[in-house]
Amino acid sequence: MKDERSGQNRNCRVRFAPSPTGPLHIGGVRTALYNYLFARQQQGTFILRIEDTDQVRYVPGAEQYIINSLQWFGLVPDEGPGFGGAYGPYRQSERKEIYDQYAMKLVHEGKAYYAFDTPDELEKYRESDPTFKYDASNRMKLRNSLNFTEAQTKQLLESSTEYVIRLKIDPKNSVTFQDRIRGEVTFSTDELDDKVILKGDGMPTYHLANIIDDHLMEISHVIRGEEWLSSTAHHVIMYDYFGWNPPEFAHLPLILKPSGKGKLSKRDGAKFGFPVFPLSWESGDPEDRFTGFKEDGYLPEAVLNFLVLLGWSPHSEKEMFTLDELIQVFDIENIVKSGARFDIDKALWFNQHYIIQSSNEDLAKKLIITCEKLGIQTNESYLLGVAALMKERVHKIDEMITSAMYFFLPPTSYDEGMIKKKYKSELGQHLEEIGKVVGSSESSSLEHNVKSYISEQSLKMGDIMPLLRIAISGTMQGPDLFETMSLVGLEESRRRISSSVEAYNKLIQ
RNA sequence: GGCCCGUUCGUCCAGCGGUUAGGACGCCAGAUUUUCAUUCUGGAAACAGGGGUUCGAUUCCCCUACGGGCUGCCA
């Protein structure tokens, strides 16, 4: 069914629903990406919903961080806080009254009940019995409205005793639902506990808020991480209690640590030496600061391309995709079932590829920021030249600068091993002469002039070029030497050659 | 412990009853290059184990093992 006015498919509405408890994890980005691709492909709607029902774990700034991250990747929501939409508010903390109402409805219908057990009491039960579950087998022994008379309950409620509302799960049934990725999944209700749906502070838990919002926002497909698979049975029961049709479910495989032991977590970045967040995260607590992919020199399209292939396959040999191409070929059916380890080497390879594909202009703009950060004085047109020479020999943006400081300063050290191998004092004079040739050449004639000198003097390219290269850059690694000298400046190159002769002579003594 | 989900090269993915089990990253070797990188060529490298079903199982079923997730008044 198409809405003629918006051109959107009203049957397809998906949401990305992160909780603002800190920076958005890279796994969350992938979930957002899959939701976005599916929505775009179906000409549906991509919704951002902020699940901020936990007041204790709420982190100021996290919501903005999430939005900034999505924008960096170009995954812009159609509806959400700050994005408009007819189904708001899109922050759960602003929907408290709605949840209240529905929770009460369940209580009145006997599908939920008040429970007065304190967190301390419950903790003690779990301590003495780790398998303790608040369910049909136990609830008649606990402090809740199922055991109390109406008057008792009323009195407790009125004396403002803290309480929660729990979902009443009937035992000896089974719940089955279809998962688009995993097929049919079944749970016995004997395994399910009476989940808290409304907390002591009056806020709903995820379980309640999520199904009410998904229903009210007319979400058609719930695409989320596998960590939610276990609680989906509870959700299906609630849909049933309310008399609503559940959306379709698709539970994504998790992104695992490189070691494969557990899902990738925020501390793994520091542990394994790569970012796990899109953007850097600042915080007063030094333990809670993280560098992002962006600041570490990654391109958003590279990260996205890497990410989309972690758990999904296009079923073709093609592996480089633009967002638009992904929208065309994405298919939930091709999402993989098993967890995928995070492999930073593959990400670096994608990044290298996208850097090479980038225009020098785009790269130069990014390099200006890098240079400012490093305190290097330069300008965009010079960086254009650096980008042209360096882009196919780096994996990250910043490396075009950090591994090529000789574009900005004379070398501070020389590759000694190579000098000892190649340099003989009688070559010093030749180097000085070549320096003069360099200094008196034009960029266009430079290569010709230097090569002419080398052949006229019956020298060998393989003997002279390394010494020249080290004179200019200090290292044996780098772009075409003549182009490098042209960019650095021919007069500057002459100076560097000159001072290298002195240094070389000292080194071989 | 219980429940749920999973298991093809080191890693990410193809394969959907009969294939020399394919590609990519990484690794190794070679070609090109003044070096590095890019590019190109080649190479090593996998169906967790055991039972079935079948003429025939990597493919279907069961068990075991291993891995992951959940088991909170967190999402």
Contact A220, A12 (CB under 8 A): yes
A254 touches strand B (CB under 7 A): yes
Query: What whole-number distance in Å separates Cα of residue A299 and Cα of residue A508?
Result: 44
CA angle A253, A254, A260 (to 5 degrees): 120
Run means of pLDDT, 10 residues per run, chain A, 509 residues: 49 96 96 98 97 96 98 98 95 97 97 96 93 95 94 93 96 96 96 97 97 98 97 98 98 96 92 96 90 97 98 95 97 97 97 98 97 96 98 97 97 93 93 96 96 94 95 96 97 97 92
Residue nearest to nucleotide B4 (CA to C1'): A230
Contact A476, A470 (CB under 8 A): yes
CATH numbers and ranges of domains, chain A: 95-252 (3.90.800.10), 359-409 (1.10.8), 416-508 (1.10.10.350)
> What is the spatial distance, in angstroms and rounded to an integer, between the CA atom of A349 and the C1' atom of B27?
15
Query: What whole-number distance in Å separates Cα of residue A493 and Cα of residue A284?
Result: 46
Which 8-state DSSP code applies to residue A394? -
> What is the spatial distance, in angstroms and rounded to an integer, between the CA atom of A442 and the C1' atom of B33?
24
- In chain A, positions 384-403 with C-beta closer than 7 Å to nucleic chain B are 392-393
Contact A196, A166 (CB under 8 A): yes
Strands A174-179 and A340-341: unpaired
Output the CA–CA distances (angstroms, integers) from residue A217 to A12, A44, A45, A88, A182, in the order listed: 11, 13, 11, 8, 25
Output the CA–CA distances (angstroms, integers) from residue A71 to A29, A32, A180, A320, in the order listed: 11, 11, 28, 21
- Give me the numbers of helices (H) and strands (E) for chain A, helices first please: 20, 11
Both tokens of A130, joined, read 């780790």
Contact A360, A384 (CB under 8 A): yes
Identify which of A327, A361, A275, A362 has the alpha carbon closest to the alpha carbon of residue A41: A327
ipTM of the complex in this document: 0.96
- Nucleotides of B strand lying within 7 Å of any protein CB atom: 1-8, 10-15, 23-26, 34-39, 67-75
* pLDDT given at position A8: 57
Both tokens of A41, joined, read 């492909």
Tell me if the pTM is above 0.90.
Answer: yes
State the residue for tokens 């490093």. Answer: A374
> Can you state the angle between helices A427-439 and A443-456, rounded to 10 degrees?
150
> What is the spatial distance, in angstroms and rounded to an integer, between the CA atom of A237 and the C1' atom of B42?
59
Q: Give me the catalytic one of A111, A133, A199, A266.
A: A266
**Residue A266 bears catalytic tag:** yes
Query: What whole-number distance in Å separates Cα of residue A23 and Cα of residue A280?
Result: 8
| Nucleotide with the nearest C1' to A473 CA | B35
Task: Kindly tell me the sign of the dihedral angle through the C-alpha atoms of A218, A56, A286, A81.
Answer: positive
Q: What is the dihedral of CA A392, A394, A395, A398, to 10 degrees?
A: -130
* pLDDT given at position A10: 62
> What is the spatial distance, in angstroms and rounded to an integer, between the CA atom of A171 and the C1' atom of B59?
38
* pLDDT given at position A481: 97
* pLDDT given at position A11: 86
Instruction: Name the β-bridge partners of A221.
Output: A14, A248
A357 touches strand B (CB under 7 A): no
- In chain A, positions 420-449 with C-beta closer than 7 Å to nucleic chain B are none
* pLDDT given at position A5: 43
